[in-house]
Amino acid sequence: MTDSSIITREQEAGFGDYLALLKPRVMSLVVFTALVGMLVAPGGINPVVGFAAILFIAVGAGASGALNMWYDADIDALMRRTAGRPVPSGRVRAEEALAIGVALSVMAVVMLALATNLVAAGLLAFTIFFYVVIYTMWLKRWTPQNIVIGGAAGAFPPMIGWAAVTGGISPESVLMFLLIFLWTPPHFWALALFVRDDYSRAGVPMLTVTHGHRAARRHILAYALALVPVSLGLGLSGIGGPLYLSVAVVLNLLFLRGALALLRRDEAGAAADGYRAEKGFFRLSLYYLFLSFGALLAEAALPGGFRPGGV
C-alpha cells in the first residue's frame, strides 16, 4: 500500500491549474497596456521599480480572474468555452480560488503601493473591486450591457501604469482608459456574433441573445463611431504625434468600414459564409488595440518627440 491509496481526492491540482486560475491570456493584455501607459508617461521610472509595478498590476489582474472563477463556477460549468476551467472541472476547489484571489489581491495592492505610490495602488484596488463586485457579482447576470461596464475593468491598466510613474491621473491617461473602454464592447459583441456560446443556458444576458444579432450589429457601429474622437483626441494630446495620428486614422477608417459592413449583413448571409466578416472584424479589433498602443509606444520612443514635462 502506498500513501496515495488512502487519499480520496481524485484530482490533484498541478501548478499549471493554479496559473490557469489567473487567466494568463487576459493578463498578457494587461501587461502590454500597463507597460505602454508606464513608458509613455512623462518622467521616468527605475527599471526595477517599473518591472515590479508591471508584475504587481498583472498579479492584481490575475487575482481578480481567480475571484471571478470562484464566483462564476456555477455558470462556467454550463458553458462549453469555460467548462474546462480549473474550478468547474474540479481540479481546484472554489474555496481555494477564493483564498488565492483574496491573498494575491491584497499582496498586489500593498506591494504596488510600496513599490510606486498610493494613487497607482488605489487604482489597482478599485480595478479589482470593480471587476469582481460590480461586474462579476452584479452586472454580468443582470444586464445585457454587462460587457460595456465590465470593459472598464480592463481599461484601467494603462492608467495604473501611468500613475505608477507620475503619481496622478491626467487627460492622457483618461483617454487611454476611454480607448480600451469603448473598444471592448464591439470587440466582444463581434465575438458573440459568431461564437454560439450557451449564454442563455447559463442565464447570462448577452446582447446577442437578449436583443438579437441586429441590435448587436447596431451597437457595434455606435461604439466604433464613439471610438473615433477618443482615438484621434489621443493623437492630439501630449503623448500623441504624427506617427500615432496617422496609424489611428487608418485604424479608425478600417474599423468603421468593418462595422458598417457588419450592419449591412443579415443573419442568412452571415451564416452562409460562416461569419467571415464577423471573424474578420474580431481579428481587426485585436489589431486595432495592439497597433494603437504600439503606435503610442513608438511615438514615445521617437527621438525629439514632444514629451510633456520631459526634455
Partner 1 sequence: MPLTQEHELHRRRFGRNLGLGLVLGGFAVLVFFLTMAKMKEGASMEGFDYQRPAPAGTAAQAEDGG
**Residues at the contact surface with partner 1, assessed by CB under 8 A:** 2-4, 7, 12-16, 18, 46, 48-49, 52, 55, 114-115
Supply the minimum distance, in Å, between the C-beta of residue 97 and partner 1: 15
92 vs 163, beta carbon nearer partner 1: 92
Mapped to the 3 state alphabet, what secondary structure does the chain carry?
A: CCHHHHCCCCCCCCHHHHHHCCCHHHHHHHHHHHHHHHHHCCCCCCHHHHHHHHHHHHHHHHHHHHHHHHHCHHHHCCCCCCCCCCCCCCCCCHHHHHHHHHHHHHHHHHHHHHHCCHHHHHHHHHHHHHHHHHHHHHHCCCCCCHHHHHHHHHHCHHHHHHHHHHCCCCHHHHHHHHHHHHHHHHHHHHHHHHCCCCHHHHCCCCHHHHCHHHHHHHHHHHHHHHHHHHHHHHHHCCCCCHHHHHHHHHHHHHHHHHHHHHHHCCHHHHHHCCCHHHHHHHHHHHHHHHHHHHHHHHHHHCCCCCCCCCC
Supply the minimum distance, in Å, between the C-beta of residue 2 and partner 1: 5
Supply the minimum distance, in Å, between the C-beta of residue 182 and partner 1: 35
Instruction: Report how far apart the first and last C-alpha atoms of the chain are (Å, whole number).
Output: 72
Supply the minimum distance, in Å, between the C-beta of residue 6 and partner 1: 11
What's the CA angle centered on 165, arms 160 and 171, to 5 degrees? 65
Supply the minimum distance, in Å, between the C-beta of residue 49 and partner 1: 5
16 vs 229, beta carbon nearer partner 1: 16
The amino acid at residue 189 is W
5 vs 304, beta carbon nearer partner 1: 5
Residue 158: other Cβ atoms inside 10 A: 28
CA 85/CA 184 separation, integer angstroms: 23
Q: Cβ contacts of residue 268 below 8 Å, gap of 6+?
A: none
Residue 86: other Cβ atoms inside 10 A: 25
Supply the minimum distance, in Å, between the C-beta of residue 127 and partner 1: 21
Supply the minimum distance, in Å, between the C-beta of residue 234 and partner 1: 30
115 vs 123, beta carbon nearer partner 1: 115
69 vs 289, beta carbon nearer partner 1: 69
6 vs 268, beta carbon nearer partner 1: 6
77 vs 107, beta carbon nearer partner 1: 107
Supply the minimum distance, in Å, between the C-beta of residue 40 and partner 1: 21
Residues in the chain, total: 311
Supply the minimum distance, in Å, between the C-beta of residue 158 and partner 1: 22
27 vs 209, beta carbon nearer partner 1: 27
11 vs 246, beta carbon nearer partner 1: 11
